[in-house]
A and B are shown apart, each in its own frame.
Chain A
Amino acid sequence: MCTKPTTGNEQKTIFELSSAGRRGMRYPKCDVPEAELPSGLLRDELPMPELSEADVVRHFTNLSELNYSLDNGFYPLGSCTMKYNPKIDEKLSRLDGFVNVHPLQPIETVQGSLLVMYELQDMLQRISGMDACTLTPAAGAHGEFSGVKTIVAWHQAQGHDKRKVMLIPDSAHGTNPATSAMSGLVVKPVPTDARGNIDLEKLAPLCNDELAGIMITNPNTLGLFDEHIVEVNEMVHKAGGLVYGDGANMNALLGIARPGDLGFDVMHFNLHKTFATPHGGGGPGSGPICAKAFLADYIPGPVACVLEEETEEMPPLYGLKMPEESMGQVRSFWGHFGVMLKAYVYILMEGEEGLRRVSEYATLNANYLMAALKKVYPLPFDRPCMHEFVLEGKLPNAPEVRALDIAKRLMDYKFHPPTNYFPLIVHEALMIEPTETESKQVLDEFIEAMLVIAKEAEENPQLLHDAPLTTPFGRMDEVKAAKDLILTA
C-alpha cells in the first residue's frame, strides 16, 4: 500500500501489480503419466503476470468503478438504444443447461437451445413482417454484410451481372457504405431533402439498370420516419433493385410498423439495441437478419428448423440446416447464442402489447425531450420525431462552444453525453435517444442540465472547453495516442 494518500485515478496495470511466484489459480495434479514434450516446439518464456486471486479481483473491481454504465445512469446515445438491461436475462443466460453446451453436440442433446433459436427466428419474422430469419450474424454490421451479400447472391442467381450500385442516403451510418464496398458494390450517395426525407428527385435518375439496391435506415438517423418510404421502395423495386433495411432504429417500430409491409426485402436487427441485451462495453452484440420469402434460400446459415414434425407421442425434432443457395457461412458455428437467449427472454416478457408499448414510450420520451430542448438548441428538422432526434450543438449566443464541449460538460452533471458529430449532414450534431426505460424525472433532470449548460456556454465558455471537471479523468490527448502509438504494456 502507498505510504502517502493519493489523489489521482491512474491505475497500475496487471503487469505492474505482478510479483514473481504468486499464484491466482491452481489445477489438480496430473492423473496420467507425463508425455514427452516436442523439443524445439516449446516456448522459451511465458511473460504472463503473476497475481493472487484477490489481486485480480481488486484490480478489475477498481477498473470497473472508472466506468459509467447504464446501471449508473442515463445514456441518451442516439442510434445506440441504451435501454435498461433486465437482470433476469443475465440469470437465465447463465443456466448450466445453456452455458455448458458444445455447438457440435448431437442435436438430440441440444433441443432446448434449438427451440430458443427456432422461436426467436419466428418472433423476429413476426415483428419485421418477413418470411425467413437467420440468427448467425454476430453484430449489426455483420448483419448488414449478411443482408447485402444476400442481395448480391440473389442478383447473381438471376444473372444480373451489371447490377453493382448500392444507393446509400447521406444520413447513413458508416457501416452501410463500408459493408457495400466489402461486398463488391459501388456506393452512390442519395441526398436528404429539407424535411429530412430521401430526396425523391435526386433518387429518380439513380434508379436504373445498374442498381443492385438501396440501404435505408428508417426511421433515419435524424430520428425521422421517411414520409415517402413506400414510394422510395417502389421506385427501387421498379428499377430492379432490392431494399435493405438497417434495423438500428427498430426501437421505434415494434408493433408500430413492419418493414416487410413497407417494401423492405431484407433487414437486420440489433438484439443489443432493440431487445435490451447488454452492450458489454463494446460487444458482443447480435445482428440477425430477416428476409422476404424469395430471398430465403440465399441468406447465410445455418438456420434453426423443424427436422421431424411433432407426433402424438413426440415433440418436434429441431435441427439446423443451410439454406439451399446460401450466400455462405459468416462465422463459425451458429451465432451468439448467449445473446439470442437474452433477447428471447425479453420478447417473451414484453409480448404483443408490451412490444408496442416499448416503441410508443420510446417515441413519447424523445418527443418530450425534443419539445423542451428545441426552445434553446437549434433543431434543424422540426417535425415530430420517432425514438430519437438531432439537435445542433451550436448556440446562437455562444459561437465558440461546440457540440463536443456540451457533450463533455454533461458528464459533470452525471449524464452520459449524446452521440455527437453524427449524422454527418447536421453541423455539430447532438443526437439524442432517451429510450422507453427512462422516467419523466430522469428526462426532466437531463433537460435542466442541458438548459444550465446552454447558459454556461454564454456566460463562461471556458468552463465548457475545460469540461469534464468532476470525472475521474479529464480530456485525453488523442493526438499523442495516435502519434506515439503505445498499444501494449
Chain B
Amino acid sequence: MKIESDLLYSKNDEWVRIEGDTATIGITDYAQSQLSDIVFAEVSIEKGESVEAGDCIGTVESVKAASDIYTPVSGTVTAVNEAVADEPEIINKDAFGAAWFIKVEIDGPIDNSELMDAGDYRKYCEEREH
C-alpha cells in the first residue's frame, strides 16, 4: 500500500495536495485496492462550480463495489480531470498521480481538523485491515 508523505487524507479515503491556494483531490491507493478493478469513474461537478467540504464530487465503481467521492475542502473548482472518466483503470495504476479528480481554489484557510497526515492515515488503514 502506497501512502505519500506530503498529502493530507480524509476518513473517506480521499487525498488532498495543497500547493499555494490550490488543492488537488483524488482517492488513495488504499481506496483503489479495496475497490479492485475500477470499471467506471465520474466527476459530477463542473469547472467553475463552488463546493463545500463534504460535497459529493463524483463516483467510482468496480464490479463489486461503488464509492462516492467527497471534497474535503471548500472552494471553486478550477479543473476537472477528464482522464479518470475516459480511462478509469488509471485510478488503479496511479491513484496519487495521473488519477487526480479535481482541483479547487481554496477560499480562506482550510479546516484541517477532519484531515489526517500520512502517519495517522497509515494507522487508520492498518486498523481497518485488522
Do A and B interact directly, with beta carbons closer than 8 Å?
Answer: yes
Q: Which residues of A contact B (CB under 8 A)?
A: 421, 478-479, 482-483
Interface size class on chain B is: under 10
A-B pairs with beta carbons under 8 A, tally: 11
Residues from chain A with Cβ under 8 Å of B37 in the complex: 479
Cα distance A479–B63 in the bound complex, in angstroms = 6
Residues from chain B with Cβ under 8 Å of A479 in the complex: 37, 39, 62-63
Is B40 interfacial (CB 8 A cutoff)?
yes
Contact code string B12-43 (vs A, CB < 8 Å = 1, else 0): 00000000000000000000000001011000
Return the chain B residue nearest A478 by Cβ: B63
Residues from chain A with Cβ under 8 Å of B39 in the complex: 479, 482-483
Which B39-76 residues have C-beta < 8 A from chain A? 39-40, 61-64
Residues from chain A with Cβ under 8 Å of B63 in the complex: 478-479, 482
Residues from chain B with Cβ under 8 Å of A483 in the complex: 39
Cα distance A245–B39 in the bound complex, in angstroms = 36
Cα distance A421–B64 in the bound complex, in angstroms = 10
Cα distance A479–B64 in the bound complex, in angstroms = 10
Residues from chain A with Cβ under 8 Å of B61 in the complex: 482
A380 to B: closest C-beta gap in Å: 14
Cα distance A478–B39 in the bound complex, in angstroms = 10
Residues from chain A with Cβ under 8 Å of B64 in the complex: 421
With A479-B62, A482-B61, A483-B39 given, can you name 8 additional A-B contacts, CB distance below 8 Å? A421-B64, A478-B63, A479-B37, A479-B39, A479-B63, A482-B39, A482-B40, A482-B63
Cα distance A479–B61 in the bound complex, in angstroms = 11
Q: Which residues of B contact A (CB under 8 A)?
A: 37, 39-40, 61-64
Residues from chain B with Cβ under 8 Å of A478 in the complex: 63
A102 to B: closest C-beta gap in Å: 43
Cα distance A478–B64 in the bound complex, in angstroms = 9
Residue pairs across A and B with Cβ atoms less than 8 A apart, 11 shown, are A421-B64, A478-B63, A479-B37, A479-B39, A479-B62, A479-B63, A482-B39, A482-B40, A482-B61, A482-B63, A483-B39
Cα distance A421–B61 in the bound complex, in angstroms = 17
Cα distance A102–B12 in the bound complex, in angstroms = 54
- 5 closest residue pairs by CB, A with B: A482-B39, A478-B63, A479-B37, A483-B39, A482-B63
B126 to A: closest C-beta gap in Å: 16
Residues from chain B with Cβ under 8 Å of A421 in the complex: 64
Cα distance A484–B37 in the bound complex, in angstroms = 14
Q: Which of B40, B61, B63 has the most CB of A within 10 A?
A: B63
Cα distance A46–B64 in the bound complex, in angstroms = 37
B64 to A: closest C-beta gap in Å: 8
Return the chain B residue nearest A479 by Cβ: B37
Return the chain B residue nearest A404 by Cβ: B64
Residues from chain A with Cβ under 8 Å of B40 in the complex: 482
Return the chain B residue nearest A481 by Cβ: B63
A327 to B: closest C-beta gap in Å: 30
Residues from chain B with Cβ under 8 Å of A482 in the complex: 39-40, 61, 63
A409 to B: closest C-beta gap in Å: 19
A301 to B: closest C-beta gap in Å: 36
Cα distance A225–B117 in the bound complex, in angstroms = 44
A45 to B: closest C-beta gap in Å: 33
Cα distance A478–B61 in the bound complex, in angstroms = 13
Cα distance A83–B43 in the bound complex, in angstroms = 45
Cα distance A479–B88 in the bound complex, in angstroms = 12
Cα distance A421–B65 in the bound complex, in angstroms = 12
Cα distance A483–B37 in the bound complex, in angstroms = 10
Cα distance A479–B89 in the bound complex, in angstroms = 11
Cα distance A482–B36 in the bound complex, in angstroms = 13
Cα distance A482–B38 in the bound complex, in angstroms = 10
A270 to B: closest C-beta gap in Å: 25
A393 to B: closest C-beta gap in Å: 15
B76 to A: closest C-beta gap in Å: 29
Cα distance A482–B61 in the bound complex, in angstroms = 10
